[in-house]
Amino acid sequence: MEVQLGELIEQIKKEGVATAEAEAKAIVDAAKADAEKIIEEAKAQADKILNDARSETERMTKSSEDAIRQSGRNLLISFRESVSRELKAIIGENVSAVYSSEALAQIIVNIVANWANKPDAEDIAVILNTEDLNRLEETILVALKEKMLKGITLKANDNFDGGFRIAVNNGSAYYDYSAEAVVEMLSNYLSPKVTELLKEAE
């Protein structure tokens, strides 16, 4: 009886140890699986963080490069506009200087002489502002007389500051040589040339 009891106890011990070992193995296996899963998730998360960081760096780099390019374009445009403004101001000063001098009378006479030679030009009128007309009328009339140019009338009109306009054929056509028109014309002519020079300098 004691032998059977001892065997029974031994059997219980063996089964208990086997069960404990099986449970321990199951716990270890589960822990290993959980650890591997955590490691895989951590690796995936790390890869995602790295990829996101690379993408963000590339985006920021591209954005910075685009901003630098745009700033360069804006600076160049601003510089060209500044040069154009300066050019227009210089042209304006020179035109004003010529138009406020006695040279204006000779310019008018030369242009009128060219118009008078056109077969379809009749009833030529030179229009100046009142101040210039009073200042230059006598000089212009004498010069026209010397060139044998008759039938040309001088008129006053204060709708423009300086320069003159020519009306032909009873005012059916006007040709604008006012200071503003000449400055605009010269600026439009010179600005593309200045732009080309600036492009060559880039």
Decide: helix, strand or coil at residue 123. coil
pTM: 0.58
- At 154, phi and psi to the nearest 5? -110, 135
What are the b/e assignments for 101-136, b being 16+ CB within 10 Å?
eeebbeebbeebeebbeeeeeeebbbbbbeebbebb
CATH class of 102-201: alpha beta
Nearest to 129 by CA among 170, 100, 88, 95: 100
Site of tokens 């000779």 = 106
pLDDT tens-place values along the chain, 202 residues long: 555 666 666 676 666 666 766 776 777 777 777 777 777 877 878 778 778 778 887 888 888 788 888 877 887 778 777 878 888 888 888 888 888 888 888 989 988 888 777 777 678 889 999 999 898 888 888 888 887 777 788 999 988 888 899 888 776 778 898 888 888 888 888 878 777 766 665 5
Length of the chain: 202
In angstroms, the CA 160 to CA 175 distance is: 13
